Amino acid sequence: MYDDFKSILNIYMSNKIFSQTKKINWENIYHLASIHNVQGIISAVIKNNELCIPGEINSKLQKDFYSTLMYSVKQENETEKLLNILNKACIPHVLTKGYVVRNYYPDKELRTMGDIDILVSEENFEKAKELLKENDYRITDTYFNEVSFDKNNVHFEIHKSLLDEDLGNGYDYGKYFDQLCKKAVKVKDNTYELNINDHLIYLIAHIGKHFYNEGCGIRMIMDIAVYINRFEYKLDWNYLWNEFEKIRLKKFAQNIFYICNKWFDTKINVPNMDIELYNEIETYILEAGTFGFYERNSGVKLLRKSYGSGKQGNVMSWFFPKDKDMRELSEWYKDKPILFLPAAWIKRWLDSFRTKKWSAISKALGTVKGKDIAEKQYGMLKELGIYQDDNKLNI
């Protein structure tokens, strides 16, 4: 079901010739491309190899190809404008993930991005936020250590921490990545990037974060593969394995690298992955789209994370955040007296329903009826290499 899809993406990544020796279900390819947001890449392979595919699918892919290119150029232009604003205000900031890794793809414009992530220090966070508001960037969401902005239909996330969650590993990743950011390399003015070793550590940890939440799509695996291929002989593997061991992600990194070897022909020396786990993870990645959201009930995530933390009350924390948390989550409530807390809860529910509609209801139902799925996911992800803190509650 997934082999042809993976093979086409591998052909693009390795610049190979596509030899079609069997009938391909192009409707299935287009469905997978759509939910993983890689239609432009699939279209490029078809163009480069002059493949003959059904007319309706080909028309859709051509349309997606050009819309991908246009939006990518728009994102790049808008990002440069935002970076110029930060640079003129002398606010240091760090670029990570997609906006950096896209430069290592055969065609950077085809590496799609849902948003652009920018890190600023905690002491500059409020200054950056107010500066962007003054420049007509509209706040669309707030969530603890990050604020989301939109301008001209381009989405940005400004962070003051690269990774807040412990991935069920009982490790302070926020503090760890704060230290790595102090070693970041200046690109231009006040714009920085992590050095090549630390950025790979962060890419792996970020995938871990997505698995810890809803899930990880194939594009994140492609990022690792393209990164390895670009810096294969410059990476310090002794440093990397020591760091992965220290931050309790060695097992997880080995499994992700194994998947890269299988799907994209990287040659990283890692142990074989258990075949049953591999098959489960392949399905888990490919069935649920770019960020693991597609047809997946996020209420199950709340249950699973409560098992991993040993705190069953975590399920209710989404519906009834504490006063301190609610002030981080809601711009409306931020400066109001605590007696407005119930109103802030209600506003959060209504806003969620208005913007997410069925998914908000689905989340609520998932916390009630998703116990069996949550237990299964927890076991699978623990075997993959997160939820590694032995002090946590096991199922």
Query: Encoding tokens for residue 248?
Result: 């309790």
On whether the CB atoms of residues 105 and 111 are closer than 8 A, the answer is yes
User: What is the average per-residue pLDDT within 143-150?
Assistant: 88
What number of other Cβ atoms are within 10 A of residue 365's Cβ?
Answer: 12
Res 358 pLDDT > 70: no
In the sheet with 116-119, reading across from the earlier edge strand, the strands are: 138-143, 146-151, 154-159, 116-119, 93-95, 191-193, 185-188
pLDDT digits (tens, 9 = 90+) for 329-340: 677 777 788 888
> What is the pLDDT, as a whole number, of residue 338?
87
b vs e for 195-215, b when ≥16 Cβ sit within 10 Å of the residue's Cβ? eebbbbbbbbbbbbbbbbbbb
Provide the terminal-to-terminal Cα distance of the chain, rounded to the nearest Å. Answer: 32
Domains of the chain in sequence order: 3-296 (3.30.460.40), 297-395 (no CATH)
Cα–Cα dist 42/40, whole Å: 6
On whether the CB atoms of residues 355 and 218 are closer than 8 A, the answer is no
What number of other Cβ atoms are within 10 A of residue 94's Cβ?
Answer: 25
Cα–Cα dist 242/230, whole Å: 22
| pLDDT class of 244 with cuts at 50, 70, 90 | very high
pLDDT digits (tens, 9 = 90+) for 1-32: 799 999 999 999 998 877 776 789 999 999 99
> What is the pLDDT, as a whole number, of residue 313?
44
Res 318 pLDDT > 60: yes
- Closest-CA residue to 245 (of 236, 253, 257): 253
On whether the CB atoms of residues 296 and 288 are closer than 8 A, the answer is yes
What phi, psi does 385 have (nearest 5°)?
Answer: 135, 10
- Mean pLDDT, the chain, whole residue set: 87
Query: Encoding tokens for residue 330?
Result: 């809601």
User: What is the average per-residue pLDDT within 95-116?
Assistant: 95
| pLDDT class of 370 with cuts at 50, 70, 90 | low
Cα–Cα dist 61/110, whole Å: 13
Cα–Cα dist 194/146, whole Å: 19
> What is the pLDDT, as a whole number, of residue 394?
39
Among residues of the chain, what percentage have pLDDT more than 70?
A: 85
Res 295 pLDDT > 60: no
Res 361 pLDDT > 60: no
What's the chain look like in SS3? Answer: CCHHHHHHHHHHHHCCCCCCCCCCCHHHHHHHHHHHCCHHHHHHHHHHHCCCCCHHHHHHHHHHHHHHHHHHHHHHHHHHHHHHHHHHCCCCEEECCHHHHHHHCCCHHHCCCCCEEEECCHHHHHHHHHHHHHCCCEEEEEECCEEEEEECCEEEEEECCCCCCCCCCCCCHHHHHHHHHCCCEEEECCEEECCHHHHHHHHHHHHHHHHHCCCCCHHHHHHHHHHHHHHCCCCCHHHHHHHHHHCCCHHHHHHHHHHHHHHHCCCCCCCCCCHHHHHHHHHHHHCCCCCCCCCCCHHHHHHHHHHHHCCCCHHHHCCCCCHHHHHHHCCCCCCCCHHHHHHHHHHHHHHHHHHHCHHHHHHHHHHHHCHHHHHHHHHHHHHHCCCCCCCCCCC
On whether the CB atoms of residues 37 and 8 are closer than 8 A, the answer is no
Query: Encoding tokens for residue 155?
Result: 């989405």
Res 365 pLDDT > 90: no
Find where tokens 């006063």 sit: 323
